[in-house]
Amino acid sequence: MARLRPILALSTPLLAGGCFSPTDLDDGGATSGTGATLGTSSSAGPTTEDTALTELTGPTFPTDSSGAPDTTAAADESTTSSATSCGDGQPDDGEECDDGNTNVGDGCSAACMDESITCDTALVGALSPFQVGRMVADGGYVYGVPGPNTNADGILRIFDATDVAAPAPLSTFVVDPLDYPNWHARGIAKGGDHVWIAGGGPEFLSIDVTDPALPLLGDLDGPNEIDGPIAIQGDLMLTAESVGDDARLYDISDPNSAMQVALLGTAVEYDVALHDTWAILWGNAGLEIHDISVVGAPMLTGLVAPFPGPTERIVANDDSIFVAAQGGLVAVDYSQPDFPQIVDGDYGPVDYHGDLALRGDFLYLPVSNGVNVYDVTDPADPIQAGTYLQIEAFPTAVAIDPPYLYLSTEDGLRIIEDLPGLCDARCGNAFVEYPEQCDDGNLDPDDGCDACVEA
């Protein structure tokens, strides 16, 4: 079940540009074969593949004392062969493997790509119990707070997932409960070495997690008895009140001394987002889009109101804002920020969505037993790019720290890898990965599948 990271780590240099390019490769074939013998995969035929690849690391290609393949014996052949030498039994530059043939389905494709390395979604780690309602993940650590849907305390919990196969609780941080008896941390964000939390009690606080095992108080403002969301982008932090009537923009270039630079918003705000020069608020007044290109003088530019609510979470990219609402997902096109429009898009069955994640044009949408992934390049025409629906519990929070997606569910933490947007398709590995239309294992353009596009 668990797949070894060294396999994908090796493949990383191959991924730029999406499809296979022989010039992108160094001589990683033999090492790749070694990795494949250690891992397991749900792709077709791993057993025979592993056997074939194991042979590559054996006597056929002895290595010298430095571990590099000894290519002396094949030198004459190499100098006389064409640029395409896949199938000659020699793992040349540009080949991940070469099993001496150009057959597909035996572990080494006709393009000499390792067929066991695929964007084949897998659960790689789990931890239970794991009680958070909002979380961020960064550098192998997961930071969680109770969030809006639990009646829990104001404790920040930090988990060590540097070994994704064995995530474990690491440390906790809590403000003095005598000072803040009803602290209910709702929002969490991370910038640099600090985690920022918004919640009842302090308006916000920053926690230095340079050493995640020893979280230290950075800054604290309040008490304002609010229960709000929070967003960070660069040196800016935006937080809001869910019982008050404004949102506040802070300069956090000194994370131990946040400076308020602007007030914005016109109503109770349930969630906030920062993207590029836009501050986006969702609240009683609807969806507000503020231009913060002059941070000290934000300007309300666009408004969508009234809005179907209530809402738990908003996320934004260059053109779109996605709103996780009770009743389903709503997409708003704000490519014209002064004229934002709700767009109709089919984002699967109407479901309750507690959280959302967005990475580039890929939207990760928790559903009742897992997560769906959509390519939202056109928010009105989302393309379901992948899915992981093998969790018998409802996800309450989601976070991304590539190459992993972290899901907090009713029965614990799940760590999932190789979802679209986190794993780049490789044309020629004989495995159809989004957005490929086909992959016949070769790079031959004249056989109906050319560059993984159906001819």
Binding site for Ca ion (CB under 5 A): 85, 88, 90, 92, 95, 98-99, 101, 103, 106, 108, 429, 431, 433, 439-440, 442, 444, 447, 449
CB of 28 to Ca ion, least distance (A): 13
Smaller CB distance to Ca ion: residue 54 or 326? 54
Smaller CB distance to Ca ion: residue 106 or 319? 106
Q: Is the dihedral of CA 6, 8, 12, 14 positive or negative?
A: positive
Smaller CB distance to Ca ion: residue 115 or 203? 115
The answer to whether the beta carbons of residues 423 and 403 sit under 8 Å apart is: yes
Smaller CB distance to Ca ion: residue 102 or 242? 102
CB of 391 to Ca ion, least distance (A): 26
Backbone angles phi, psi at 121, to 5 degrees: -50, 135
CB of 427 to Ca ion, least distance (A): 5
The answer to whether the beta carbons of residues 175 and 202 sit under 8 Å apart is: yes
Smaller CB distance to Ca ion: residue 112 or 274? 112
Query: How far is 382 from 317, CA to CA, in rounded Å?
Result: 14
CB of 452 to Ca ion, least distance (A): 6
Query: How far is 446 from 275, CA to CA, in rounded Å?
Result: 44
Smaller CB distance to Ca ion: residue 70 or 254? 70
| 108: Cβ contacts below 8 Å, ≥ 6 apart | 49, 52, 53, 96, 97, 98, 99, 101, 114, 115
Smaller CB distance to Ca ion: residue 87 or 223? 87
SS3 119: coil
Smaller CB distance to Ca ion: residue 106 or 227? 106
CB of 84 to Ca ion, least distance (A): 9
| 360: Cβ contacts below 8 Å, ≥ 6 apart | 317, 421
CB of 99 to Ca ion, least distance (A): 4
Beta strands in 161-246 (DSSP E): 168-173, 184-191, 194-200, 204-208, 216-221, 230-233, 236-240
Q: Which of 314, 315, 396 is nearest to 354 (CA)?
A: 396
Query: How far is 412 from 21, CA to CA, in rounded Å?
Result: 40
Smaller CB distance to Ca ion: residue 43 or 387? 43
Smaller CB distance to Ca ion: residue 380 or 432? 432
Q: Residue 315: beta bridge partners?
A: 322
Beta strands in 307-351 (DSSP E): 311-316, 320-325, 328-333, 341-343
CB of 301 to Ca ion, least distance (A): 42
Smaller CB distance to Ca ion: residue 177 or 445? 445
Q: Which of 346, 362, 368 is nearest to 434 (CA)?
A: 362
CB of 147 to Ca ion, least distance (A): 37
Tokens of 146: 């109770």
CB of 31 to Ca ion, least distance (A): 15
CB of 436 to Ca ion, least distance (A): 5
Smaller CB distance to Ca ion: residue 288 or 439? 439
Backbone angles phi, psi at 149, to 5 degrees: -110, 15
CB of 454 to Ca ion, least distance (A): 10
Query: How far is 272 from 292, CA to CA, in rounded Å?
Result: 13
Query: How far is 436 from 36, CA to CA, in rounded Å?
Result: 23
Chain centroid to CA 377: 16
The answer to whether the beta carbons of residues 422 and 359 sit under 8 Å apart is: yes
Query: How far is 455 from 452, CA to CA, in rounded Å?
Result: 9
